[in-house]
Amino acid sequence: NKKGCGFGISILDSVDKGGKDSLENAIFTKMATFFREFWNHPAGPKTVFFWAPTFKWGLVIAGLNDLTRPVEKVSTAQNVALASTGVIWARYATQIIPVNYNLLTVNVFVGLTGIYQLLRKHAGVDLFGLDEKAKIEAKKD
């Protein structure tokens, strides 16, 4: 009695020797099960626990966009707020049941962008050479 361990193996185990049609049916059955479980998950798309972190990715995008701003124009207060809320809510996301990985991931990135901006402004850290590119762009304007 062989048990499948993972998505691919369990599909192959469930396919009888009927050919391509039975493989497609097995895949569709597994995908339907996956999406049903995702849809009905306590932090799935039917809840605010899915949509709030999803829209919070906008903060990450804004923070990444700010990497192209000259360091003098970076707001310390804004990035302290982003860094601290990112760290606090990332910790919170690991303590709730069920663990909300979407919330955890977005808050890690919010915290990292805030911390990086603070390091960039106050410690002169420029890991990606973006400050040089910003200076060149400012000279063009």
Angstrom distance (rounded) from CA 50 to CA 32: 20
Quick check: 14 pLDDT over 60?
no
Per-residue pLDDT, 132? 72
Q: Is the pLDDT of residue 89 over 90?
A: yes
Least confident of 6-10, 80-84, 106-110, 111-115: 6-10
Question: What local confidence, expressed as pLDDT, does residue 40 receive?
Answer: 86
CB atoms within 10 A of CB 81: 13
| Residue whose token pair is 């420029």 | 126
Q: Contact 106/115 with Cβ under 8 angstroms?
A: no
Residue 20: predicted pLDDT: 61
Residue 129 pLDDT > 50, yes or no? yes
**Per-residue model confidence (pLDDT) at position 1:** 45
Rounded CA-CA distance 27/109 in Å is 34
Reading the block at residue 83, the tokens are: 């860094």
Query: Which one is predicted more confidently, 55 or 1?
Result: 55
By the 10 Å C-beta count (0-12 exposed, 13-18 middle, 19+ buried), 137 is classed as exposed
Query: pTM of the prediction?
Result: 0.67
Condensed to tens digits (0 to 9), the pLDDT of residues 110-128 reads: 999 999 999 999 988 887 7
CB 120 within 8 A of CB 89: no
Q: Is residue 27 over pLDDT 80?
A: no
Positive or negative, the CA dihedral 73, 78, 83, 86 is negative
Residue 84 to residues 2, 81, 116: CA-CA distances in angstroms?
49, 5, 12
CA distance 130 to 138: 12
Cα(118)–Cα(83) distance, rounded to whole angstroms? 9
